[in-house]
Amino acid sequence: MTRVTIDPITRIEGHLRIDVEVDQGKVNKAWASSTMFRGIERILLGRDPREAWLFTQRFCGVCTTVHALASVRAVEDALDLPIPINAQYVRNLTLIAHALHDHIVHFYHLSALDWVDVTQVLKADPAKASSIAESLSDWPNNSTKEMAAVKTKVKALVDSGQLGPFAHGYWGHPAMKLAPEVNLIAVAHYLQALEYQRYANQIVGMLGGKTPHIQNVAVGGVQNAINLDSEATLNIDRLYQMKGLLDKVVSFVQNVYVPDVCAVAGFYPEWFGYGKGVTNYLSVPDLPLDEKSTKFDLPGGFIPNGDLSKFHAITGQKDEYWRKAVTEDSEHAWYKSGGALHPWKGETDPQLTDWKEDAKYSWVKAPRFNGQPAQVGPLANVLVGYAAGNPLMVKWTDAALGKISSIAKVQATPAMLHSTLGRHGARAVRTAVLSELAVKHWQLLTDNIVKGDTTIFNPPTFPKGEISGVGFHEAPRGTLSHWVVIDDGKIKNYQAVVPTTWNASPRDASGAVGPYEASLIGNPIADPQHPLEVLRTVHSFDPCMACAVHMFDPAGNNVAKVKVL
């Protein structure tokens, strides 16, 4: 029996820590913990609810936009305040652009190194790489010349004795299996992805006023003045500037990102067999299409035990099925345990002990849906969309499975998506769906503005006494919800139940493990000193844990420590 701990220690900063027990080359027990107190919500108590979004978007540097949006939606829900349709479209477009940026970056700049061995690039034949890439899509930047230039760049890097951005990859690991040419394609697209994610980020900046930290939302709508005759506002020129950027991103997603994920999956079909974990899936509806947020372009719902036929729809923020189902449990978290509490009654009173695997071991609480753990994220989003029969989700899921089948020479089925690779595949599917919806919502906004509607804001008024609301958003990492209680116009309680809390959940009072913990069971570990396989599964969730401190450490302590006992 071997115990492996992966702990990206820094002196002060807190992160995700993973402990696994390995027996005969396989994980048989796992624990996920957060090593930092997360009680940022307490800063909001007593404040004006109209300002909350300015603070909540500082929760996290990766997910600024999503916390701004969930916050205004929560306050609007408490007030039963509809928002103008222009405001819905502007918010939707902002959210989609943010998600496109985020998903591209996650795959190429965080996860790809789990599967790609950059040193193999030196053995690749650029002409052969070009012909493989061209067989996968019509993307114009896959020429032999392009591939040869990237190979030269990598050679210069290797010759310099350093691997630059790839230095932290597990290159040369026995679990690396891509052909040299596929490694070369991946590095070429890594470089191109840097450029295309930037276009998506620029769209967020154009709508949000700036990025990071958008300035354009408000409780009651948005602050993007619309005037077709003014240079300083949202006008036709700006809309077409955005469309130009959007078209580039859409093309990259559909012609590069989706085929690349299918190609990597095709080389690692065994990873459809690992990482299953918790198969209760939760996803909330998003991209509202009316002022009261009752119709959506992305469906939401809950799937128990991976059984798509048992899918239960969530119809909106007002749906009692959703509002009553969410609780958080602190039995194994470093808070005073008060049983499973609804977020409006949530408490955040620290009670730190040593790290104890059978008692308290994490700063993350255990969120539960009707008492059960649930996996959130793109896989939940795609499966819920698939179960609901959403045409775009069905189209792109079937297209991706078809492509994987032809590369891997196996029959890929939706059941295989309950896995480490399934989460990467689903993220690519979701990104492709969002790329189509981006164009749709751009058109909806443009048509509505051209029609002469320039309304962007309904002013909120706060009643005397207590009201409560929930704002949700299907964020890049999954279901995000902000729960607010307002008393006489001031915030009385505020809880953010974030996607990584669902997925990195510790055990609950009944002993049920969280999604990360469950997904690691059965993972192979070829070399406990280099637990690449653990990283593959954990990264597939796209963890975003350290909504936290960012301090420069000249001693280079942002290095994860792997400890084997």
Partner 1 sequence: MKTAIYGIGNILLGDDGIGPAVVNYLFANNILGDDVTLEDLGTPSLDLPNYLTGFDRVIFIDAVAVDAPPGTIRLFSREEIIAAPPGIRISPHEPTINDALIVLDFAGGAPRDVVLIGIVPHTLENGMNLSPAVGKAIPRAAMLAHALAS
- Which residue number, 191 or 341, has a Cβ lying nearer to partner 1? 191
Binding to partner 1, residues 93-152 (CB under 8 A): 101, 105-106, 109-110
Q: Closer to partner 1 at the Cβ: 152 or 227?
A: 152
CB 176 within 8 A of CB 117: yes
Only one of the segments 9-17, 280-288, 334-342, 373-381 lies at the binding site for partner 1 (rule: CB under 8 A); that segment is 9-17
How many C-beta atoms lie closer than 10 Å to residue 399's C-beta?
Answer: 15
What is the x/- site pattern for partner 1, positions 55-84, by CB under 8 A? Answer: x--xxxxx-x--------------------
For the window 412-451, what string marks contact with partner 1 as x by the rule CB under 8 A? Answer: ----------------------------------------
Q: Which residue intervals of 333-374 are DSSP H helices?
A: none
Q: Who contacts 364 (Cβ-Cβ below 8 Å, separation ≥6)?
A: 32, 33, 34, 38, 333, 500, 501, 504, 505, 506
The token pair at 191 is: 């470089």
- Taking residue 160's Cβ as centre, other Cβ atoms within 10 Å add up to 9
CA–CA separation, 101 and 103 (whole Å): 6
- Give the closest residue to 435 by CA, choosing from 309, 273, 275, 246: 246
Radius of gyration for the alpha carbons in the chain, expressed in angstroms and rounded: 23
The residue among 71, 95, 76, 66 whose CA lies nearest residue 441 is: 95
Identity of the residue, 162 or 233, whose beta carbon is nearer to partner 1 in the bound complex: 162
| Cα gap 420→417, rounded to integer Å | 8
Two tokens, residue 281: 């899936």
Q: Which is nearer to partner 1, 443 or 529 (CB)?
A: 529
Applying CB under 8 A, which of residues 4, 5, 8, 501 lies at the interface with partner 1?
8
Q: Which of residues 540-559 bind partner 1 (CB under 8 A)?
A: 542-546, 548-559
Residue 354's SS3 state is: coil
The pair of three-digit structure tokens given for residue 50, joined into one six-digit string:
């109209």
Q: Rounded to the nearest whole angstrom, what is the least distance from the CB of residue 43 to partner 1 in the complex?
A: 6
Instruction: List the x/- string, 166-195, binding to partner 1 by CB under 8 A.
Output: -xx----------------------x--x-
Residue range at the interface with partner 1 (CB under 8 A); choices 207-215, 368-376, 404-412, 479-487: 207-215
What is the residue type of 250? V
Shortest distance in whole angstroms from residue 440 CB to partner 1: 25
Work out how close the CB of 66 gets to partner 1 at its nearest, in angstroms, rounded to a whole number.
Answer: 13
What is d(CA 396, CA 174) in angstroms, rounded to the nearest whole number? 32
Least distance (Å) between residue 546 CB and partner 1: 4
In the list 3, 50, 198, 243, the residue contacting partner 1 (rule: CB under 8 A) is 198
First to last CA, the chain: 9
- Binding string, residues 209-238; x marks residues near partner 1 by CB under 8 A: -x-xx-------------------------
Contact range with partner 1 by CB under 8 A, out of 12-20, 140-148, 324-332, 371-379: 12-20
Q: Which C-beta is closer to partner 1: that of 198 or that of 292?
A: 198
Give a three-class secondary structure readout of 325-378: CEEEECCCECECCCCCECHHHCCCCECCCCCCCCCCCECCCEEEECCECCECCH
Which stretch in 13-21, 22-30, 285-293, 391-399 sits in contact with partner 1 by CB under 8 A?
Answer: 13-21
Instruction: Determine the Cα–Cα distance for residues 247 and 517; give it in Å rounded to an integer.
Output: 39
**Residues 49/54/59/60 CA torsion (nearest 10 deg):** 150
Contacting partner 1 within 23-52 (CB under 8 A) = 37, 39-40, 42-43
Identify whether the C-beta of residue 119 lies closer than 8 Å to the C-beta of residue 171: yes
Nearer to partner 1, 153 or 312 (CB): 153
Q: Which residues bind partner 1 (CB under 8 A)?
A: 6, 8, 10-12, 15-16, 18, 37, 39-40, 42-43, 55, 58-62, 64, 101, 105-106, 109-110, 153, 157, 164-165, 167-168, 191, 194, 197-198, 201, 210, 212-213, 535, 538-539, 542-546, 548-560, 562
